[in-house]
Amino acid sequence: MNTFDQLGLDTPFLQAINDMGFETPSEVQAKAIPLLLEKETDVVALAQTGTGKTAAFGFPMLQKIDNQSRQTQGLILSPTRELCLQITQELKNYAKYVKGLNVVAIYGGASINYQAKNVKKGAQILVATPGRMQDIIRRRMVDISKVEYCVLDEADEMLNMGFYEDITSILSNTPDDKCTWLFSATMPKEVSVIAKKFMYAPE
Ligand code: AMP
């Protein structure tokens, strides 16, 4: 598939892609976008930073969630604050022509009350670092019990940084039947352990 209109994305997303000047889908986008749009399945994708992986999971997630509902339906975990903010900004750009779609970043070193206030307004997607996510869950400032799609971005990095326990604990607050999409630059044993523990027959 070498054009974006062949991937199954709705017009508002194609317009945003056009505005951003993306001409052809990258390899991970061409493989992941149609699969994630079509199937309710767990997926493991090997992709480095700079390959367009944010769009590979971002567009399918944005298209699949219900923007009429204020419920949190998508959760993206990423290892660092910088990446968390970058993903949030990208998703906002992708969704610029979709009304009522709110993406909120949850990361350490900034006001948790401010983040919680934004979540309360109705955030369908949360992009979070594991430590702050744990904190905001413990304080009951978010509800992730209805999450349908969960992305573990840079899973290898998150494990290197010692977030295994946090990830396990965060995921225990999400439904068992959600879809989990794991993106990682490398596939060390620890990442396969995560895939085995948290995913069902991933593609
Ligand atoms: P990522 O790998 O998701 O961090 O993306 C790296 C950069 O490439 C980001 O700045 C994206 O906006 C940009 N990008 C993603 N997909 C494409 C594409 N198909 N064509 C051109 N640029 C892209």
Please provide the average confidence, as pLDDT, over all residues in the chain. Answer: 96
C-alpha of residue 32 to centroid of ligand 1, in Å: 14
CB atoms within 10 A of CB 115: 21
pLDDT at 190 over 90: no
* Residues forming a β-bridge with 184: 46
Q: In this prediction, what percent of the chain has a pLDDT beyond 90?
A: 92
DSSP output for the chain:
--SGGGTT--HHHHHHHHHHT--S--HHHHHHHHHHHH----EEEE--TTSSHHHHHHHHHHHHS-TT--S--EEEE-SSHHHHHHHHHHHHHHTTTSTT--EEEE-TTS-HHHHHHHHHTT-SEEEE-HHHHHHHHHTT----TT--EEEETTHHHHHHTT-HHHHHHHHTTS-TTSEEEEEES---HHHHHHHHHH-SS--
C-alpha of residue 9 to centroid of ligand 1, in Å: 17
Q: Which residues line ligand 1 (CB under 6 A)?
A: 22, 25-26, 29, 49-55, 90
C-alpha of residue 25 to centroid of ligand 1, in Å: 9
Distance CA 187, CA 102 (A): 32
Atom of ligand 1 nearest to the CA of 4: 19
Render pLDDT for 68-99 as a digit per residue (tens, 0 to 9).
Answer: 999 999 999 999 999 999 999 999 999 999 99
Residue nearest to atom 20 of ligand 1 (CA): 22
C-alpha of residue 120 to centroid of ligand 1, in Å: 30
Helices 11-20 and 53-64: angle between axes, nearest 10 degrees:
150
The per-residue pLDDT for 95 is 98
C-alpha of residue 106 to centroid of ligand 1, in Å: 22
Residue nearest to atom 19 of ligand 1 (CA): 25
Distance CA 140, CA 134 (A): 10
Atom of ligand 1 nearest to the CA of 49: 2
Query: 88 near 7, Cβ under 8 Å?
Result: no
The per-residue pLDDT for 148 is 98
The per-residue pLDDT for 1 is 62
The best mutation among 31, 54, 62, 78 to test binding of ligand 1, ranked by most ligand atoms within 8 Å of the C-beta, falls on 54
Say which amino acid occupies 38: E
Render pLDDT for 129-180 as a digit per residue (tens, 0 to 9).
Answer: 999 999 999 999 999 999 999 999 999 999 999 999 999 999 999 999 999 9
Q: Which two tokens stand for residue 80?
A: 């660092």
The per-residue pLDDT for 197 is 87
Q: Kindly report the pTM of this predicted structure.
A: 0.97
Which has the closest alpha carbon to 150: 111, 181, 114? 181
Atom of ligand 1 nearest to the CA of 24: 19
The per-residue pLDDT for 106 is 98
Residue nearest to atom 15 of ligand 1 (CA): 52
C-alpha 73 chain-centroid distance: 10
pLDDT at 201 over 90: yes
Which has the closest alpha carbon to 65: 54, 55, 50, 75? 75
CA neighbours closer than 13 Å in the CB half-sphere of residue 8: 18
